[in-house]
Every structure is written in C-alpha cells, then in structure tokens.
Amino acid sequence: MTGTAAPPARQDQDIPQAVTDLRAAFDSGLTRPAAWRRRQLHALRRLLVEHASDVEEALYDDLRKGRTESHVTEIGGVLAEVEHALRHLDRWMRPRRVAVPLNLKPATARIHPEPLGVCLVIAPWNYPLALTLNPLVGVLAAGNAAVVKPSELAPATSRLLAELLPRRLEAVAVVEGAVEETTLLLAQRFDHVFYTGNGTVGRIVAAAAARNLTPVTLELGGKSPVFVDETADMAVTARRLAWGKFTNAGQTCVAPDYVLVTRAARDPLLAALPRAVQEMFGTDPRTSADYGRIVNDRHFRRLTGLTAEGELVIGGVSDAADRYIAPTVLTDVPTGAPVMTEEIFGPILPVLTVGGVDEAVDFVNARDKPLSLYAFTRDKAARQALLERTSSGGLVFDAAMIHLGAPNLPFGGVGESGTGAYHGRSSFDTFSHRKSVLSKPTRPDTLRLIYAPHSSRSFSFIARAVSRTHPLLGRRR
C-alpha cells in the first residue's frame, strides 16, 4: 500500500481489513516524512477551496446553514488550522534538547516526537465538516494514518467527505454508518481514538478503547454558563451572547447554555437581548438566511419540551414541519427544571438572577465542570474570582465561542466536559508520542562507579552524589 491511498471503508466494506491496510501503510513508513505530511495538508486545503460550494450545499441540506456561517464556523476554521500547521510543522517535528543531571554526564537528551500509528476520528453532526477535519489536520501533521467516521445525522456532509477524502488523501479511510459501524470500529485496535459528542457515548468509547489500552481524547459538552454584571457594556454583551447562542440554532458544544445575571444588570440585559436578536435575524428569524434548523425530529421534540417552565422573554415559536425553533430567552426558570439540568444544545437561553459573583461561583461549582465559562464584567475582582475559584475547559471574558479560533490555545474539557485537548500545537501533540532519547558516550565510562561489586568507598561516593541530587534523601539516617 506504500504510496497509495487507502480505499474508502463504507457500510459494505470489510472494516477490519481497512484498518489492517492502513496499518500496513503506516508500518511501511509512508506517513512519517515531513514531505508526506505537507502534501496531505496541501491536498486538504485544495479540497476545501475547490469544493467550497459542495460543502455549502451539504451543510445547508443537513442543518440549513447559511453560506457565511458555513465559511466562518466550518470551512474557514479548518483552513486556518491547515495554514497554522503548515507554518509551524517543521518546528513541531524538531526534536527538543533537554538538560541531563550532572551525575549522568557526559550525555545528551532530547524529546523526539513520533507518530502514534492509526488513529480513529469519530465526528458529531452539529459541525459535521469542522469537527471531522480539524482533528484530522492534527492526525496528518503528526504523521499518522486515519479512519474517519462522520456522523450519520448529517448525511449530506458525510457522503461528501466519504467521496472526497479518500480520493485526495493517502492513508485515510472513511467509514459511513451509525451504531453498528461505530461498534465494529471500536472493536479494532487503534493507536488513538478521538471522539466528539455526548458523555453517554463518550463513556462507551472510553470503555471500548480501554480494552486495547488505547488513549482517547473525549471532546464532550455540558452546560456552559455565562456571568453578567452591571459593569458590562450591555448592548455589546447582548449581541455577543445572541451570536454565540443562536449560531447554528444553538447546536454548539460551547454555546452559552444559561446566564447568571446580577440583579442590577437583569433588566438592562433582558431589554437588550431581543434587540440583538432582531438586529441579527430580523423580526421573523424563520425567514432569515442566517438562521439554521434543528437537525432532526427527535431533537426538535426534546427542545420544545424544554420551554415548559419559566417566563418567555422572546421566542417560544416553533414549526415541527420545518424543524424551526425561534431564538428563545426564558427567565424565572426553576433550577431543577429540565432546561437547567440537561445540556440544551438548541436556541433556548435561560436567564437566572444572582446576588453577585460569589453566588455565581457557588452555582457553577455545584454542577459538573463546563466546557466553557463566559463572563461579561469589567470588575477585576469578579474576573479574578471566576479565574481562580472555578474550573472549566476554557474561560472567555467579554465574548463567547471565539476562543475556538485561537490555534495556540488548547481546546478541550475537564471532568464531565471531556479529557484531552487539540487545535494547533495541541493537535500535533495529541497525535504524537514524545519519545525520550538519551545518548551517552562509552568513553570515558563514568558508569563504572555504579557497577557491582560495590566497595565502601564507592558507596560513600554514591551516597554523597545522591544527597546533592536529592537533598531530602541525603538527610535520612
């Protein structure tokens, strides 16, 4: 298989054989050279540029995504990851020298990044292009072969990826399908499994990978809170919240899930949010070319059920035939209501009132660690409290979602919101093994002092050396 592309793995193909073929390609050394990695990244960039209109059409079919949103949140994001990887690949691949202790000298030590092997990327439906290809950029940059499993809930994008990726890339196979195909994939031996989705399936993926001691990256989700106080610029806050929440009809893992607003800021925020929604999507968002739809009927029914409790500020309108749910803001929601206990993953934004940042911190800390935490405040003490007293995958001040566009920031969760991180250098590191390499000359043979047999003189020398290197050990009697 050296120098040739892996055949596309589909529902009617032998998945174990596809993985075997990819492993043969990796073992042949095909994927290791920097030139191969660069060739794949350039091919991926050309694919996106040349087939941008096909991608736009697929995303519209799957999620009614508008053209601009498709470029901002999907195509453009992947292109930025590719460009960043190409710009920094040589430095990432370069072994890094590290110091050696005096008692081991003369010697040299370095950390040598090497590819893991064959990686599996299981992608979600909400950003079916970006969340499939962004991890793949890291897989290829690190010199690995890959199996890509797009989501069956975004069938148009899945079909397009299955058609294009194996034609343009070497040592990459695409498996389409649902639970049966994913289960069969997880039964194979991979060198890394990268999964984006919900915690329930994440546990299944982790358990399956554990059978082969395969490391995993789990990009999950959770309820990403927002804190707003009276020091915030309320018009800007409302616009950035509306964009972050209602982009992709709220079907974003890092979308603001609920707002904790101080009493002094509550009324100004609730007045500004409807204006911001109208500025972006018009008086009837159903007619906006920039407002998406819910992915399927099951999610539509789940979301409409979440508006049963609380007072409507705006929205609440839905159309099952069109899978349309208007941008919706709720207030006075009981904390035990389903909309406050389940990840919303849709265009519904509950707003709760708190006494201040201390109450907000306690509220966040009483729940699972979120994937993202957003804060709109100019109060330095409030910012410091959120930074030091809460734990989240990411913390963003005075904006929402945009941290995904910073390739030098690792993106990932903590606790229930995930494990591991990617984007930029973090993607390269995720799909690489950092091999420790030490080289010591044979002349002079300074290790003779530790060879047996040991005399009292050699013991004294070694004990003194150890006490200098490890002072705590030297104090023991």
CA 67 to CA 28: how far, in whole Å?
A: 41
> Would you say residue 475 has pLDDT above 70?
no
Neighbours of 354 (CB within 10 A): 21
Q: What is the pLDDT of residues 395-434, one digit of tens each?
A: 999 999 999 999 999 999 999 999 999 999 999 999 999 9
Q: Structure tokens of 294?
A: 């819910």
Annotation: CATH topology of 15-220+422-433: Aldehyde Dehydrogenase; Chain A, domain 1 (3.40.605)
In three-state secondary structure terms, 97 is strand
Burial of 75 (0-12, 13-18, 19+ CB in 10 A): buried
> Would you say residue 5 has pLDDT above 50?
no
8 A C-beta contact, residue 172 and residue 150: no
Residues listed for the chain: 477
- Amino acid in the structure at residue 427: S
Burial profile 219-236: b = 16 or more Cβ within 10 angstroms, e = fewer = bbbbbbbbbbbbebebee
* Bridge pairing between strands 256-262 and 348-354: parallel
Helix (H) or strand (E) holding 89: helix 76-93
Name the CATH superfamily, with its identifier, for domain 224-407. Answer: Aldehyde Dehydrogenase; Chain A, domain 2 (3.40.309.10)
**Which of 326, 315, 320 is CA-nearest to residue 291?**
326
User: Region 321-333: what's the mean pLDDT?
Assistant: 97
8 A C-beta contact, residue 219 and residue 427: no
**Which of 100, 96, 106, 103 is CA-nearest to residue 440?**
106
Q: Structure tokens of 439?
A: 């080289």
Query: What's the pLDDT band for 469 if we cut at 50, 70, 90?
Result: low
Q: How many CA atoms lie within 13 A of 232 on its CB side?
A: 30
pLDDT of 161: 98
Quickly tell me which residue has 């729940």 as its tokens.
Answer: 367
**Which of 223, 237, 243 is CA-nearest to residue 271?**
237
pLDDT of 11: 43
| Intrachain domains 15-220+422-433 and 224-407 with the same fold | no
Q: Which residues contact 39 (CB under 8 A, 6 or more apart)?
A: 170
Cα–chain center distance at 109: 32
CA 470 to CA 141: how far, in whole Å?
A: 40
Q: Which stretches of 338-393 are assigned E, i.e. beta strand? A: 348-354, 372-376
CA 123 to CA 229: how far, in whole Å?
A: 36
Query: What's the pLDDT band for 273 if we cut at 50, 70, 90?
Result: very high
Query: What's the pLDDT band for 457 if we cut at 50, 70, 90?
Result: confident
CA 432 to CA 191: how far, in whole Å?
A: 10
pLDDT of 6: 44
> Would you say residue 281 has pLDDT above 90?
yes
DSSP string for residues in 219-273:
E----EEEEE-TTS-HHHHHHHHHHHHHGGGG--TTSEEEEEEEHHHHHHHHHHH
pLDDT of 459: 78
Query: Is the CA virtual torsion 395, 398, 399, 402 positive or negative?
Result: negative
Q: Which stretches of 87-170 are assigned E, i.e. beta strand? A: 96-98, 108-115, 118-122, 145-149
Q: Structure tokens of 48?
A: 């996106």
Neighbours of 115 (CB within 10 A): 22
> Would you say residue 477 has pLDDT above 80?
no
What are the extents of the domains in the chain?
15-220+422-433, 224-407, 442-474
pLDDT of 191: 98
CA 152 to CA 260: how far, in whole Å?
A: 35
Burial profile 33-52: b = 16 or more Cβ within 10 angstroms, e = fewer = eeebbbebbebbbebbeebb
Q: Structure tokens of 21?
A: 């073929």
Q: What is the mean pLDDT of the chain?
A: 94
Query: What's the pLDDT band for 82 if we cut at 50, 70, 90?
Result: very high
Provide the phi-psi class of 315: left if phi over 0, else alpha when psi is between -120 and 50, else beta.
left
Q: Which residues contact 477 (CB under 8 A, 6 or more apart)?
A: none
pLDDT of 10: 47
Q: What is the pLDDT of residues 151-204, one digit of tens each?
A: 999 999 999 999 999 999 999 999 999 999 999 999 999 999 999 999 999 999
> Would you say residue 31 has pLDDT above 60?
yes
8 A C-beta contact, residue 95 and residue 108: no
Quickly tell me which residue has 């589909």 as its tokens.
Answer: 10
Query: Is the CA virtual torsion 426, 368, 131, 12 positive or negative?
Result: positive
**Which residues have a catalytic role annotated?**
219, 253
CA 215 to CA 198: how far, in whole Å?
A: 18
User: Region 364-376: what's the mean pLDDT?
Assistant: 97
**Which of 248, 193, 235 is CA-nearest to residue 404?**
248
Q: Which residues contact 152 (CB under 8 A, 6 or more apart)?
A: 125, 158, 176, 177, 178
> Would you say residue 4 has pLDDT above 60?
no
Q: What is the dihedral of CA 300, 303, 309, 311, to 10 degrees?
A: -90
User: Region 329-355: what's the mean pLDDT?
Assistant: 97
